[in-house]
Structure 1
Amino acid sequence: MRCFIAIDLDKKVKKEIERVQKIVGSHFRGKLVEPENLHITLKFLDDIDDMTIDAVKERLSLIKFQSFNLVLKKITVFRRKSIKMVWLEVDEVPLQKVIDDGMKGLFKRKSNFIGHITIARVKRFHGEVDFMKLLGELEINKLKINVSEFFLKSSVLTKTGAIYKNLEKYDLV
């Protein structure tokens, strides 16, 4: 099963993201992430078997961490040879390092992790240079995100997009 660990977003943050999606969405061919699928990725686990899922659940249940706040920082892109995703960066996520440490031995540590919210997956642009200029000029409301829980989620890929399901919820103290 394809799994990841994430923080869900409140309505206020999703509304801001929808505003940004409306502005950037006409500049490329691709898919905007549906509001119900918006989240902050903490760790992507990929395809894992039931035994590994059980081990992940057990390790995540041992995490004791204070609730905290994050702030939306800026809109940016992820690229390999070309731009593949548009995302919103958030502050450094201290919980992510704790999760990474807790997964030691099960998964590789990602030292270059950037807290982000994927807002669009790109197939092709209608002028990449103009799009990058737009991103540089786009004002993001630097909303505060209160984090009091996180989730282990599954992801099923379909022709119409990913379907996410919460497998387990973990409350912060």
Structure 2
Amino acid sequence: MRLFISLNFDSEIKAKIYDIINKVKSNSIQGKFVNEEHIHLTLEFLGEIQKNRLNTIKEIMNELNFEAFTFGLTKVGYFKRPEGNIYWLGVENNDTLFNMQKKLHQSLIEKDFELENREYKPHITIGRKVILKDGFDTGELKDTLEKIKIDINKVDLMKSEFINGKLIHSLIYSKPL
């Protein structure tokens, strides 16, 4: 199973973020944009995991001892790629978010999960292989972004799979905060 641990958002927040995705999409020459139902913030990508490791992941998630929290969005940014950039929404610095991800990462490593070893840079991916039209400035979206405040009250273990050629994210387990 291909798994990841994420912060999922309510439908109102997803709709607001999807409006931003559509603004970027309408000002792009090309791109593969995230569907509304797939909008989330990844805490840890686990990759292919055997079913017998699920209980260990749940135990690690249950050890997370954090209060519910809120964060905002900061900007539209991108990771440069030759075939088109990966566009994302930046997340405000938030100690709870960083501490939660760090605890999760360390606990998973201690239980012999193989994870990427790089600095955590929280972001919400909105599109891949994106090339913007000349003259479009993503800074125009800053005011809209800064009005979005996201309440987090749970952490989710998700399965990612293709079914009949369609990407499906399924909830496996949820840990309330």
What TM-score does the superposition give when structure 1 sets the normalisation length? 0.84
Please report how far the alpha carbon of residue 109 of structure 1 lies from its aligned counterpart in structure 2 after TM superposition: 5.5
Residue identity in the other structure for 1:137: E
Q: CA deviation at 1:59?
A: 1.4
Native 8 Å contact 2:61 2:104 kept in 1: yes
Q: CA RMSD in A?
A: 2.2
Q: Where do residues 41-120 of structure 1 align in structure 2 (5 Å cutoff)?
A: 41-92=42-93, 93-94=97-98, 95-104=100-109, 105-108=112-115, 110-120=117-127
Unaligned 5+ residue runs, structure 1?
none
CA displacement at 1:57 relative to structure 2:
1.7
- Give the Å deviation of 1:126: 5.6
The equivalent of 1:12 in structure 2 is: 12
User: SS at the partner of 1:107?
Assistant: coil
Contact kept? 1:77, 1:83, Cα under 8 Å: no
CA distance in 2, matches of 1:109, 1:21: 27
Aligned to 2:32: 31
Aligned to 1:138: 141
1:125 alignment partner AA:
I
Is the Cα contact below 8 Å between 1:152 and 1:168 reproduced in 2?
yes
In the TM superposition, what is the alpha-carbon distance from 1:171 to its structure 2 partner? Answer: 0.6
Cα distance, 1:9 vs structure 2: 1.1
Aligned match of 1:157 = 162
8 Å CA contact 1:60–1:102 kept in 2: the answer is no
How far, CA to CA, are the matches of 1:32 and 1:70 in structure 2?
A: 23
**AA matched with 2:140:** E
- Structure 1 runs (4+) greater than 4 angstroms displaced: 158-161
Percent identical: 28
Gaps of 5+ in 2: none
- CA distance in structure 2 between the aligned counterparts of 1:111 and 1:35, rounded to whole angstroms: 28
User: Could you tell me which residue of structure 2 aligns to residue 125 of structure 1?
Assistant: 131
| Number of residue pairs aligned between Structure 1 and Structure 2 | 168
Shift of 1:47: 1.1
1:98 and 1:28, CA in 2 relative to 1: closer, same or farther beyond 3 A? farther
Stretch moving more, 60-69 or 38-47 = 60-69
Shift of 1:158: 5.2
Are the counterparts in 1 of residues 3 and 49 from structure 2 also a CA contact under 8 Å? yes
2:158–2:171 contact (8 Å) kept in structure 1: yes
Asked whether the 8 Å contact 1:100–1:109 carries over to 2, the reply is no
Distance 2:119 2:84 in 1: 18
SS at match of 2:66: coil
Q: Alpha carbons of 1:60 and 1:163: their partners in 2 closer, same or farther (altered >3 Å)? A: same
